[in-house]
């Protein structure tokens, strides 16, 4: 174990009693009701070694898994729990090729709007890690000094974040031997996969950054860029930055996939879709189905080129989620009315119409008007929403995922600057 590691100490003989440490530092102490354990007695130890507290209680050292880490870290907001985060990542269907050399191919860029606790961000960063080159190796002595300075900025919550002036240099330990490495700006420009995570709250963003840097010496933090902004405004800003040398802002898509985990997601879909590559996936994660329906309605009303692939309910006991049938349909009454209208138009265009048929046409027209009024009174366009579980009875879950895929672009939109 080295400076900066976080451990789980499980009591020998009763593994249900456990302690989750802050990052290890020289001179610090773990305090608990079973006594105290100096950090210096943990630094240099190996996994599953035994250490004793000041009262003689023995504890075994464990390195937390990603699931344990996300669950145990102090939080400001409810995290996306590991089972749900893993499902979301699998829905993106990522296939990462190991990094070989700098390439002219476009990088994989994933936008997460709503950083929150940083749980989903961490899972995404792990998924794309193999696409990026290893940062440059630094000496162990230099790394430990810099890591100590970074941890000097720790907060009362036990989560550490790097000072703003040091954000350009992300320190990690990586590889089988845990060799210390440094990610410079030049290295960051060579990345083949980037997670852009945007949150409107600077407090939440900083907290999440600390969470991600705190997991195994920040091994995946170098894959993430943190932004504090409104997601629609951030996309506008990105279009301008990526066209800095042009007289016009060309709204050329640059995002491979996007995840929206924020209130009012439907207000940002049009903007997000404009930055999404063709065949890119948009996932909306909301606590209620009505919020997913708001997104469906916005996509139809604004004619956004997105195709709804599935809606999945998340919750306890739902391995892989429960898929819902969510689609727009026209009521049978309206379809029958349209058919009768067509029949009436054909009949009225005939050169000769029997007198008895005319009375039938009047009756049909009366029915047509009544059914149209009945159907359109529920919806301005005549479309109704179908939404129900595809199998079995409804079970209350922990949230809903709407999964869309970007259809063919209509071409980049040019806007003059100024």
The pLDDT value recorded for residue 225 is 95
Cβ-contact 329, 375 below 8 angstroms: no
Would the pLDDT of 249 be above 80?
Answer: no
What is the Cα–Cα distance from 369 to 336, expressed in whole angstroms? 11
Would the pLDDT of 368 be above 80?
Answer: no
At 265-302, the pLDDT tens digits run: 999 999 999 999 999 999 999 988 889 999 999 999 99
Phi, psi of 113 (to 5 degrees): -100, 115
Would the pLDDT of 39 be above 50?
Answer: yes
Selected residue with higher pLDDT from 73 and 344: 73
Query: What are the structure tokens assigned to 132, written together?
Result: 């990026």
Where residue 149 falls among pLDDT bands split at 50, 70, 90?
low
Answering whether pTM is above 0.85, one says: no
At 370-414, the pLDDT tens digits run: 443 344 344 455 555 555 555 544 433 478 999 999 998 655 444
Would the pLDDT of 352 be above 70?
Answer: no
At 293-336, the pLDDT tens digits run: 999 999 999 999 999 999 998 876 666 677 877 766 656 655 66
Cβ-contact 108, 256 below 8 angstroms: yes
Identify the DSSP state of 39. G
The pLDDT value recorded for residue 207 is 95
Where residue 128 falls among pLDDT bands split at 50, 70, 90?
very high
At 225-235, the pLDDT tens digits run: 999 999 999 99
At 153-180, the pLDDT tens digits run: 554 344 444 333 333 344 444 444 445 5
At 112-124, the pLDDT tens digits run: 999 999 999 999 9
Where residue 58 falls among pLDDT bands split at 50, 70, 90?
very high
At 69-101, the pLDDT tens digits run: 999 999 999 899 899 999 999 999 999 888 776
Could you give the 3-state DSSP secondary structure of residue 297? helix
Q: Which is nearest to 43 in space by CA: 142, 171, 147, 175? A: 147
Query: What are the structure tokens assigned to 252, written together?
Result: 């050329």
The pLDDT value recorded for residue 399 is 87
Q: Find the mean pLDDT for residues 333-350.
A: 65
Q: Find the mean pLDDT for residues 48-66.
A: 94
**Mean pLDDT over each residue of the chain, to the nearest integer:** 78
Where residue 184 falls among pLDDT bands split at 50, 70, 90?
low
Give the sign of the dihedral formed by CA 144, CA 149, CA 155, CA 159: negative
Query: What are the structure tokens assigned to 150, written together?
Result: 């970074």
């Amino acid at each position: 174990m080295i400076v900066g590691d976080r451990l789980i100490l499980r009591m020998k003989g009763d593994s249900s009693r456990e302690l989750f440490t802050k990052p290890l530092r020289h001179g610090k102490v773990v305090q608990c009701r079973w006594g105290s354990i100096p950090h210096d007695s943990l630094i240099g130890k190996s996994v599953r070694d035994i250490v004793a507290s000041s009262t003689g209680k023995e504890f075994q050292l464990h390195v937390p898994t990603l699931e344990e880490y996300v669950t145990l870290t102090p939080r400001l907001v409810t995290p996306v729990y590991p089972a749900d985060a893993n499902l979301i990542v699998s829905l993106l269907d990522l296939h990462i090729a190991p990094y070989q050399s700098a390439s002219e191919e476009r990088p994989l860029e994933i936008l997460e709007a709503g950083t929150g606790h940083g749980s989903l961000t961490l899972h995404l960063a792990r998924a794309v890690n193999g696409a990026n080159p290893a940062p440059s190796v630094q000496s162990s002595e230099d790394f430990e000094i810099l890591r100590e300075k970074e941890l000097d900025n720790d907060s009362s919550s036990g989560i550490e974040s790097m000072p703003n002036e040091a954000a350009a240099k992300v320190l990690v330990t990586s590889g089988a031997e845990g060799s210390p490495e440094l990610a410079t700006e030049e290295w960051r420009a060579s990345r083949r996969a980037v997670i852009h995570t945007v949150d409107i709250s600077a407090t939440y963003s900083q907290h999440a950054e600390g969470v991600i840097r705190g997991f195994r010496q920040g091994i995946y933090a170098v894959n993430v860029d943190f932004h504090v902004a409104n997601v629609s405004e951030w996309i506008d800003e990105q279009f301008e930055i990526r066209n800095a040398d042009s007289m016009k802002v060309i709204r050329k898509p640059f995002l491979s996939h996007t995840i929206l985990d924020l209130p009012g997601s439907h207000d940002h879909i049009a903007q997000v879709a404009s930055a999404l590559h063709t065949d890119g996936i948009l996932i909306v994660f909301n606590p209620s189905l009505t919020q997913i329906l708001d997104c469906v309605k916005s996509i139809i009303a604004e004619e956004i080129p997105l195709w709804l692939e599935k809606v999945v309910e998340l919750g306890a006991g739902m391995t892989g989620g429960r898929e819902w049938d969510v689609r727009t349909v026209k009521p049978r009454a309206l379809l029958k009315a349209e058919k009768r209208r067509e029949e009436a138009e054909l009949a009225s265009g005939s050169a000769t119409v029997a007198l008895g048929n005319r009375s039938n046409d009047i009756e049909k027209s009366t029915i047509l008007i009544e059914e149209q009024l009945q159907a359109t009174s529920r919806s301005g366009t005549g479309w109704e929403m179908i939404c129900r579980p595809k199998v079995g009875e409804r079970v209350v879950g922990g949230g809903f995922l709407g999964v869309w895929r970007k259809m063919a672009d209509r071409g980049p939109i040019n806007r003059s600057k100024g």
